[in-house]
């Protein structure tokens, strides 16, 4: 068995820089035209050794055909053009099915609940629901089988600790592999700050005051999500709650969104948007929030570090030169616990090609694949990818630094207590409505959260 | 045959000529205002499809005289998926419209013309098939389709759309058939026509304007239907509305591609309406021929 | 009536009704029965193993919850206002169009465009136009000196904005049916009354509208059924917010069924919606005596 040199120094020694840049160009190009570039066939040999060094037989499921399903997400756009490498390596054909977020979360539960055999591999949008519903194949038998998994080659320790914890469920079983890493990060339009002699704030209250000072009707101070749905305002408001020492659900699973800490967090979130946000921020999803920032229409944004890829891209962004990335602010106590997320993929419990599906999963989350993805600007969960120059170039090294620092401050347990709950949907929906009501002042923060907590308790039977 | 008159279109024109000039102006103004109201969002959609991406999201949107380009259309037309989405949508919409009319028209006629026990209950049952919200039936629908091998087939989606639209076909046409004067059928029976002949040669031609209107509606409903198309069809039978939704990206919306496909999608619809609405007019003068 | 050749009367009726019956039964019966059964269980996709019969439990929970009554209120307001506005507007336009002889073909196509555009694209276009900072509507407001509005996010305008979009999209539906009705109309009494010197409004009130009533009534029934189920424009434009001010019953069904995966509960909401729709349309159709065919002569 060939030993793959672990994380010794720069992996660019084995996948050379020229190749990575070419790969990045291919992926970006492919994402733009939606097709797979022919150039892969020629470059495949350059990367093949990286995979061949794994101590398994990649071709053991040759000839089979699997379906990968996911939503229109940077990960899908990155992995799609890399699929020919996998097919060439394993002889397994992969049909990639990509849908918008809404279509995906509408169709997938129907398919999976009906025990559909396709897709074989899919992006997991709510692990709590999927595990509880029995829609994910446990991975321990694959992990234990040395003919299917080379643990040393795959090198789990290279994954961020948070990423590792995301892929282990509370019962100790693994149902998923982690594919991205993101943490709540402050985006700053330096030009707007400089024009008014403001500096980058360090606490929530400073952020609120600075945003309010910059909000002049033409340009807003800050744009964050405000829309009253569980997938919108709940996530960024979550970081505010965590930093104030609260939780949406507590670590014991009890509803905690009406605790004084949570109320304090939501209160400052709502005040910040009221005083510093643009008109209509209460209906903002991340699309609107990101767009305002890209257009230079707002001084601050505070959302997923992943948005750096767009913010640093001059084709999409008017602020690529003047944007900078900063630490998530601190609560009065000095604590900063930004919210976090790792996207996950898993194998359909009812798949008829589990071996091929597993090979794909391992390939897609391996070091070389992540390195290639990182070169295209994808925020993977692997240390080696993040430390590569190609990634820093595509993502922006300042953005990478800020994201890493914020990732290090996250508290996976308190976030998972809510987001991994099987009934996260109900809880987040109630929470989101309360935050929205606090922003629009339909109710005061406390009574909004108390009412939401009641709704959540009823839903959870507490 | 008093009821069916030769509707002389010129007589109508004459009638209106006699009306006041003020009324004429007001009528035209009303029609124009409604046209602007209908067209403005359409215009905006077309404008978005022609603007470069940074213009679409501009904070000072240009209403007229914007910089334009056809890159979005080129991208859409060159994308092999587009063609297959259009093909699927056309097959499903035309197929389901044809089938809805083929089986809905006879039922509507019988309900309108014949006395039989339970006829109003039967009609009401048909109406109820449109009432229940689809979310609850999605899973059983999907299971049933997979079991019967109908999932991701054109036939499967056509049947689903027929089920959704049949109620509208039957109920609206019932109204049209009821308004037809019965005397002509009566005369036909006297002349020895069968029940079917009376339907086929007398009632059906007279109901053409109604059939045209209902056909257009049925086509539009099927053409734009989203939820069943999403769940019951997959890659093979993906229709345009489902395909267009794919431009709603995770972090950004591909406005250019989205609007360009939506604009292109209007063309077949307008053609379809054009063809069908000729019978909307022709129906008017049919009485004269008889 | 004696018909000498061809099929006997009852066989003819059967033959004409059979395809509709078979297709509708075949396609809708199984899903409907399943949904009905589901509504009496705690069926949740999250806990498929704990499936149990809970009788009227879902219904009791639903009717005892504030979110249901609030959603019902929102749905009722939305449906009534939307349908009323669209009926008046659609019928008026159809009449104006009926009297227009020259450009009517083109106008009809223009008027049908809102229905012809994929709702997905249309609603996202509106989302763009309503956008408080980038949208063209506020841009025009500012140009004429009016203060910009938070169309979709503010409690005072969100429902109104949704009604505007719905009216834009669905007035053509009413118009098309009315146009069809007018085209099928027998013009002779109308001409006669005009010859007798009746004014335009008298002719309209005494002849045109009564003849149009059944068509408009059917249009109203279908538009109400669809408006009652409105989903996509609300989902895309406000997601039910601000707060829960635009959360309709169908949005609630989607939330519980697809987002929370509580299919039993979602099925119960669907059945309740079905019952409301049945009762309302029965009352309406009976009132107008439209349940029985008016011309069943044979």
The residue of chain B nearest to residue C189, with distances taken between CA atoms, is: B3
Percent of chain C with pLDDT over 70: 92
Q: How far is CA B289 from the centre of its chain?
A: 28
A302, β-bridge pairs: A186
Q: Do B45 and C113 touch (CB under 8 A)?
A: no
On whether residue C32 sits in a domain, the answer given is: no
Q: What is the DSSP letter of A71?
A: E
Token pair for residue B222?
A: 């099927």
The CB density around residue C201, as the number of other CB atoms within 10 Å, is 8
Cβ–Cβ pairs < 8 A, chains A and B: 67
Give CA–CA dist A248/A428, Å, rounded.
Answer: 8
User: B7 to chain C, minimum CA–CA distance in Å?
Assistant: 7
- Cβ of B236 under 8 Å from any chain A Cβ? no
Q: Which domains does chain A have, with CATH numbers?
A: 13-181+341-406 (3.40.190.10), 198-337+418-460 (3.40.190.10)
Give CA–CA dist B29/A223, Å, rounded.
Answer: 43
When scoring B250, B253, B254 by the number of chain A Cβ atoms within 10 A, the one with the most, hence best to mutate, is B250
When scoring A279, A287, A290, A438 by the number of chain C Cβ atoms within 10 A, the one with the most, hence best to mutate, is A279
Question: Which residues lie below 8 Å from residue C137, measured CB to CB, with a gap of 6+?
Answer: C129, C130, C149, C151
On whether residue C245 sits in a domain, the answer given is: yes
Q: Compute, in degrees rounded to 10, the torsion defined by CA atoms B268, B273, B276, B277.
A: -150
On whether residue C154 sits in a domain, the answer given is: yes
Decide the pairing of beta strands A323-326 and A220-223: unpaired
Contacts of C258 in chain B (CB under 8 A): 135
C87 and C219 in contact (C-beta within 8 Å)? yes
On whether residue C7 sits in a domain, the answer given is: no
Contacts of C105 in chain B (CB under 8 A): 274, 277, 281
ipTM of the complex, rounded to two decimals: 0.87
| Max CA distance (Å), chain A | 65
Give the structural domain span for C203: 66-287
Give CA–CA dist A50/A46, Å, rounded.
Answer: 9
Give CA–CA dist C288/A44, Å, rounded.
Answer: 74
Q: What is the pTM of this model?
A: 0.87
> Cβ-count burial of A165 within 10 angstroms (0-12 exposed, 13-18 middle, 19+ buried)?
middle
C258 and B227 in contact (C-beta within 8 Å)? no
Q: Which of residues 366-395 of A touch C (CB under 8 A)?
A: none
Q: Which domains does chain B have, with CATH numbers?
A: 79-289 (1.10.3720.10)
List the CATH number of the domain containing C225.
1.10.3720.10
Helix axes C263-287, C9-38, angle to 10 degrees: 140
> Cβ-count burial of C102 within 10 angstroms (0-12 exposed, 13-18 middle, 19+ buried)?
exposed
Q: Which of residues 170-199 of A touch B (CB under 8 A)?
A: none
Q: Do B248 and A306 touch (CB under 8 A)?
A: no
| Residue that has been written with the tokens 């419990």 in this structure | A349
C175 and C94 in contact (C-beta within 8 Å)? yes
> Cβ-count burial of A167 within 10 angstroms (0-12 exposed, 13-18 middle, 19+ buried)?
buried
User: B181 to chain A, minimum CA–CA distance in Å?
Assistant: 49
Q: Do C115 and B12 touch (CB under 8 A)?
A: no
Tally of domains in chain C: 1
On whether residue C168 sits in a domain, the answer given is: yes
A306 and A182 in contact (C-beta within 8 Å)? yes
Q: Which of residues 230-259 of C touch B (CB under 8 A)?
A: 231-232, 249-250, 253-254, 257-258
Per-residue confidence in pLDDT tens, chain A, 462 aa: 333 333 333 333 445 555 666 666 666 555 444 444 444 444 566 678 889 888 899 999 999 999 999 998 889 988 998 998 899 899 999 999 988 888 898 889 989 988 999 899 999 998 988 999 999 999 999 999 999 999 999 999 999 988 998 988 988 899 999 999 999 999 999 999 999 999 999 999 999 999 999 998 789 999 999 999 998 999 999 999 999 999 999 999 999 999 999 999 999 999 999 999 998 899 899 888 998 899 899 999 999 998 988 898 887 888 999 999 999 999 999 999 999 999 999 999 999 999 999 999 999 999 999 998 988 889 999 999 999 888 888 888 889 999 999 999 999 899 999 999 989 999 999 999 999 999 999 999 999 999 999 999 999 998
On whether residue C164 sits in a domain, the answer given is: yes
Give CA–CA dist C177/B153, Å, rounded.
Answer: 32
On whether residue C22 sits in a domain, the answer given is: no
B109 and B203 in contact (C-beta within 8 Å)? yes
Give CA–CA dist C58/C55, Å, rounded.
Answer: 8
Chains near A (3 or more Cβ pairs under 8 Å): B, C
């Amino acid at each position: 068995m060939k030993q793959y040199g672990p994380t010794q120094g720069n992996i660019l020694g084995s996948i050379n820089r020229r190749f990575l840049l070419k790969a990045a160009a291919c992926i970006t190009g492919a994402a733009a035209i939606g097709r797979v570039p022919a150039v892969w066939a020629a470059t495949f040999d350059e990367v093949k050794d990286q995979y061949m060094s794994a101590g398994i037989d990649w071709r053991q499921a040759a000839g089979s055909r699997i379906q990968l399903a996911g939503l229109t997400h940077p990960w899908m756009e990155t992995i799609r053009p890399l699929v020919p490498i996998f097919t060439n390596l394993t002889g397994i054909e992969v049909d990639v099915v990509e849908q918008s977020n809404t279509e995906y979360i509408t169709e997938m539960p129907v398919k999976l609940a009906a025990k559909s055999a396709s897709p074989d591999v899919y992006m997991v949008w709510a692990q709590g629901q999927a595990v509880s519903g029995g829609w994910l194949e446990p991975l321990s038998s694959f992990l234990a089988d040395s003919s299917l998994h080379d643990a040393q080659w795959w090198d789990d320790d290279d994954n961020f600790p948070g990423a590792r914890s995301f892929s282990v469920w509370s019962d100790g079983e693994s149902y998923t592999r982690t594919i991205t890493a993101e943490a709540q990060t402050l985006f700053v339009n330096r030009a707007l700050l400089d024009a008014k002699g403001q500096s980058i704030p360090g606490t929530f209250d400073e952020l609120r005051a600075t945003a309010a000072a910059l909000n002049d009707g033409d340009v807003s101070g800050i744009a964050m999500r405000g829309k009253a749905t569980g997938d919108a305002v709940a996530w960024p408001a979550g970081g505010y709650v965590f930093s104030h020492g609260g939780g949406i659900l507590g670590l014991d699973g009890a509803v905690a969104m009406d605790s004084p800490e949570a109320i304090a967090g939501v209160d400052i979130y709502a005040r910040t948007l009221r005083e510093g946000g643009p008109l209509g921020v209460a209906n903002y999803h991340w699309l609107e929030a990101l767009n305002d920032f890209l257009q230079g229409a707002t001084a601050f944004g505070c959302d997923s570090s992943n948005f750096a890829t767009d913010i640093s891209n001059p084709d999409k962004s008017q602020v690529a030169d003047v944007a900078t990335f900063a630490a998530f602010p601190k609560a009065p106590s000095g604590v900063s616990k930004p919210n976090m997320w790792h996207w996950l993929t898993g194998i359909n419990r009812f798949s008829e090609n589990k071996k091929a599906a597993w090979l794909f999963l391992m390939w897609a989350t391996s070091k070389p694949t992540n390195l290639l993805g990182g070169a295209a600007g994808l925020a993977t969960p692997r240390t080696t990818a993040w430390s590569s120059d190609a990634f820093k170039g595509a993502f922006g090294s300042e953005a990478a630094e800020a994201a890493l620092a914020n990732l290090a401050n996250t508290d996976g347990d308190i976030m998972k207590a809510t987001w991994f709950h099987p009934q996260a949907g109900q809880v987040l929906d109630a929470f989101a409505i309360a935050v929205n009501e606090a922003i629009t002042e339909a109710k005061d923060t406390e009574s909004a959260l108390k009412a939401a907590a009641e709704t959540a308790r009823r839903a959870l039977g507490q | 045959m008093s009821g069916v008159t030769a509707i002389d279109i010129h007589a109508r024109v004459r009638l209106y000529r006699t009306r006041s000039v003020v009324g004429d102006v007001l009528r035209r103004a009303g029609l124009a205002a409604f046209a602007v109201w209908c067209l403005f969002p359409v215009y905006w959609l077309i404008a978005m499809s022609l603007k470069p991406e940074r213009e679409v999201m501009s904070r000072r949107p240009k209403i007229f005289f914007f910089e334009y380009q056809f890159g979005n259309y080129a991208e859409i037309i060159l994308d092999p998926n587009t063609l297959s989405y259009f093909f699927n949508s056309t097959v499903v919409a035309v197929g389901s419209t044809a089938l809805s009319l083929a089986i809905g028209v006879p039922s509507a006629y019988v309900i309108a013309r014949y006395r039989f026990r339970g006829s109003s209950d039967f009609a009401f049952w048909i109406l109820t098939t449109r009432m229940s919200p689809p979310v609850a039936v999605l899973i059983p629908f999907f299971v049933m389709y997979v079991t019967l091998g109908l999932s991701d087939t054109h036939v499967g989606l056509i049947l689903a759309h027929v089920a959704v639209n049949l109620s509208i076909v039957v109920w609206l046409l019932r109204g049209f058939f009821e308004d037809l004067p019965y005397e002509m059928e009566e005369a036909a029976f006297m002349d020895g026509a069968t029940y079917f002949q009376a339907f086929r040669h007398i009632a059906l031609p007279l109901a053409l304007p109604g059939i045209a209107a209902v056909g257009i509606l049925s086509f539009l409903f099927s053409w734009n239907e989203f939820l069943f198309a999403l769940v019951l069809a997959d890659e093979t039978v993906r229709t345009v509305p489902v395909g267009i939704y794919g431009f709603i990206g995770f972090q950004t919306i591909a406005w250019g591609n989205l609007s360009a496909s939506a604009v292109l999608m209007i063309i077949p619809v307008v053609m379809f309406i054009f063809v069908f609405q000729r019978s909307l007019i022709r129906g008017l003068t049919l009485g004269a021929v008889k | 009536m004696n018909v000498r050749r061809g099929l006997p009367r009852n066989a003819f009726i059967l033959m004409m009704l059979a395809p509709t019956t078979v297709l509708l039964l075949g396609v809708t019966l199984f899903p409907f029965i399943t949904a009905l059964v589901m509504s009496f269980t705690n069926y949740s996709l999250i806990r498929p193993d704990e499936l149990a019969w809970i009788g009227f439990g879902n219904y009791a929970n639903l009717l005892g919850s504030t979110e249901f009554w609030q959603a019902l209120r929102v749905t009722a307001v939305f449906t009534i206002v939307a349908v009323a506005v669209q009926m008046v507007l659609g019928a008026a336009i159809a009449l104006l169009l009926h009297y227009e002889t020259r450009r009517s073909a083109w106008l009809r196509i223009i008027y049908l465009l809102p229905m012809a555009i994929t709702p997905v694209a249309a609603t996202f276009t509106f989302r763009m136009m309503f956008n408080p900072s980038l949208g063209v509507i506020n841009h025009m407001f500012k140009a004429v000196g009016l203060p910009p509005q938070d169309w979709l996010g503010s409690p005072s305008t969100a429902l109104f904005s949704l009604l505007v979009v719905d009216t834009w999209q669905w007035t053509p539906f009413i118009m098309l049916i009315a146009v069809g009705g007018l085209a099928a109309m027998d013009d002779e009494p109308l001409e006669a009354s005009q010859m007798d010197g009746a004014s335009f409004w008298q002719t309209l009130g005494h002849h045109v509208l009564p003849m149009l009533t059944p068509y408009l009534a059917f249009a109203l029934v279908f538009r109400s059924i669809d408006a009652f189920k409105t989903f996509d424009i609300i989902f895309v434009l406000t997601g039910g917010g601000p707060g829960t001010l635009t959360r309709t019953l169908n949005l609630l069904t989607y939330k519980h069924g697809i987002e929370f995966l509580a299919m039993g509960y979602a099925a119960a909401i669907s059945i309740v919606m079905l019952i409301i729709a049945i009762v309302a349309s029965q009352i309406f159709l009976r009132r107008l005596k439209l349940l029985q065919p008016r011309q069943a002569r044979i």
